[in-house]
Amino acid sequence: MNGKNCLHFLSELTNNNNRDWFAQNKNAYQQALTDFEEIVNYLIVHTAAFDQEISGLQAKDCIFRIYRDVRFSHDKSPYKNHLGAYISVGGRKSLRAGYYIHFEPGGCLLSGGIYCPQPDILKALRKAVYDNIDEYKAIVEKPSFKSIFCEVEEKLKTIPRGFPSDFPEGDYLKNKHYAFTHRVNDIFFESDDCMNKTIALFKQLHPINQFLNYTVDEVLND
C-alpha cells in the first residue's frame, strides 16, 4: 500500500486544474480517492494501537474535500492540488490535536499538534505550556523528536499579556500554532514501506498530542 497512484493523479491535476479536465478524468479521481481512503483507514487502525482515542474513526470523516472555495480568492482554480486527512476525534473538523497526512507533488508532509487553534484554546495552551514548561520541553526538545519535526513558526513579536516578559522560555508562549511538521519527498509515499514509516512518525507525535489535548478537553468541557 502506497500513495503512488494518488500522487500521479495530483500531478496531472496540477497541470490541468479545470472543470472540463476533471470531469473527463472523474474515474481517475475516484480511484485516487479510494486509494487515499484505504491509506487513511489503515493509518487509523494502526495508530489506534498506541492512541486508543482515535479507534473507530472512519477515513471519510477525516479527509478534506478536494473542491476549493474560490469566492474570496484571487486564484480561481476549482480544485486543490493535494489530498489531506486530519486524524483526530471528531475528524477533519476537530478542535483537538491530531495527526495530519498530506499528499502533494513536491510538497508532501506529515504533521501533528494543533494548527490555528481558536482563541480560547490558544490562550489555554499558552497557559498550559507556561505552567508545565519542563514537561513541554521534555517532549519538543527531545533529540529524536526535534531532529525530525519542525515547529510551525508563526509567532507573536512579544510575549503575550498575562505572562512575565522575562520568562526564559517565552518564545514558546508566542506561538500562534502548536503544530509540528515533517516534510518528505514524493518517493517517501511511493515506497512500499511508507505506511510503517508513517505510523512510526505518528507514534512520535503522540506525546505532544496528549499534552495538548489535556488542555483542549478542559476548555471544551468547561
CATH code for the domain in which residue 171 is found = 3.30.930
Number of domains in the chain: 1
Q: What share of the chain is helix, strand, coil (3-state, %, to 5)?
A: 50, 15, 35
**pLDDT tens, the chain, 222 aa long:** 899 999 999 999 999 999 999 999 999 999 999 999 999 999 999 999 999 999 999 999 999 999 998 888 888 899 999 999 999 999 999 999 999 999 999 999 999 999 999 999 999 999 999 999 999 999 999 999 999 999 998 999 999 999 999 999 999 999 999 999 999 999 999 999 999 999 999 999 999 999 999 999 999 998
- Whether this model's pTM surpasses 0.85: yes
Burial class (CB in 10 A: 0-12, 13-18, 19+), 10: buried
Beta-carbon neighbour count of residue 140 at 10 Å? 18
What is the span of the domain harbouring residue 105? 4-220
**Are the C-beta atoms of 198 and 43 separated by less than 8 Å?**
yes
Residues 6+ apart with CB under 8 A from 153: none
Candidates 64, 191, 26, 185; CA nearest to 12 is: 26
Residue-level pLDDT at 73: 84
